[in-house]
Copies of this chain bind each other. A is one copy, B any other.
Amino acid sequence: MSRIAIVGGTGDLGMGLAARLASKHQVVIGSRDPARAQGAAAKAAALSGAAVEGKTNDEAADLCEIAILAVPDLPSEELLLSLKPRLTGKLVISPIVAMTVREGFFLPALESGSAAEKVASALATRVAGAFHTVPAARLLTIQEKLDYDVLVTAETREAYSESAAVVSSIAGLRPLYAGPLRNSRMVEGITPTLLNVGKLNRMRSPSVRIV
């Protein structure tokens, strides 16, 4: 049982994670706009049957022990600056994948490095990459049984274990350690690959299992 903030959590991924985590944790969805946060929280609460709060990103970050950055792209400088003092010493989980589209195919938007490393360098706290390949649509379909693997990058085995505990608190997700943050580029690259594979082979919301 942790206090988890889902920063920028009003999209499908944020609401889906909130809905799946709320029965085990105290979950706060954050947004720039507190009314939108409360709307998303009400939806997630209705799906999960457990309480979910909605607050500003700053309030959510202040309250939490663990923050998940469920923003749709690299977070703005402004957001990172505002979060930095509030998240010092806390675990930050980055599901962020920066993507671009070229001739109909998804590609990593970053020339080098990874979103997780950018977040870690901006926030100066311990950051783990996780949840990149869990389809938001499947999380939100709360009656759907999940059976996916979640690759987790983190500088230390301890930060991995903390993050793995969050991942495994969602039934059907198995965390696997994928090494330090510099391995995040490879892990984040799996998401555009899944989107391409889904589109080219007519698979809906594909995810991965390591077998």
Task: List residues of chain A with CB under 8 Å of any chain B CB.
Answer: 102-103, 105, 107-108, 147-148, 151, 176-180, 182-183, 185-187, 189-190, 192-194, 196-197, 200-201, 203, 206-211
Contact = CB atoms under 8 A, between A and B. Distances in A.
**This chain: copies in complex:** 2
A179 B200 contact: yes
A208 B207 contact: no
B210 A194 contact: yes
B186 A108 contact: yes
B186 A193 contact: yes
Contact of A197 (B201, B203, B210): B210
B147 A211 contact: yes
Question: Which residue among A103, A182, A190 has the maximum number of chain B CB atoms within 10 Å of its CB?
Answer: A190
Which of A193, A203, A208 lies at the interface centre, i.e. has the most chain B CB atoms within 10 A of its CB? A193
A149 B120 CA distance: 33
